[in-house]
Amino acid sequence: MNNWLYSETVKDHFLHPRNFLSGDEADFAADGVGEVGSPACGDVMKMWIKVKDGKIIDLQWKTFGCASAIGSTSMLSEMVLENGGMKIETALKITPADILKKLGGLPTNKIHCSVLGDKVLRAAVKNYLEKKGEPKKKPSKIICVCLGVTERELDLSVAAGERTFAEFQRRTKAGTGCGKCVAKIEKLLAKKIDQYSDKTCCSFCKKDCPSKTSRTND
């Protein structure tokens, strides 16, 4: 591996992945299961979690992916299971940037792979909560198949004041897989910016804010 472009930490997690499901998934008896990615783009990730008292106490995963996908998900699994496991709400706060920091970075063209673990964890938690009987929400339309990025995430990006595709990409890594969605997202982004140009956060938080009140009274 004379031309290895990754940190020693990534190399270690790639060659010796932690919490990788090596047996039959039926034997794991998961409380929640998530799957993200697309075979067409090369990376597919699946994760199984066990939950007790609101804490993720065990986690296993499998992937058809590259060294970055394997290394980042292996690291994520260690982060979640450290000290007996994380509360669900704490685990969901882990970001791709947190994983990258623990890994010592990734090659620029592979950073999108660090998002897979983050997204598959969220998918597994969603599945767990649905099994518990929480009300199902209408799923948001997927606008980047490779990374599982949704239109709702684009709405939140615009609501947060982001106005360029580059800003949205930094937030979600959308378009860093096959890249076929970029033009479509840029067009949708322009439409949403125009749509929300005279709106405030009211449409998202459902509250009356001063700017909304002032427009009403004008």
Instruction: List, by residue number, the catalytic residues.
Output: 41, 113
Across the chain, which distance is largest between two alpha carbons, in Å? Answer: 69
φ/ψ (deg, to 5) at 37: 105, 180
8 A C-beta contact, residue 9 and residue 37? no
Question: Which residue has tokens 């897979």?
Answer: 116
Tokens representing 8? 């020693």
Separation between Cα atoms, residue 199 and residue 46, nearest integer Å: 39
8 A C-beta contact, residue 71 and residue 10? yes
Q: Kindly report the three-state secondary structure assignment for every residue of 40-65.
A: CCCEEEEEEEEEECCEEEEEEEEEEC
Separation between Cα atoms, residue 181 and residue 192, nearest integer Å: 16
8 A C-beta contact, residue 94 and residue 87? no
Tokens representing 175? 């378009």
Separation between Cα atoms, residue 128 and residue 122, nearest integer Å: 10
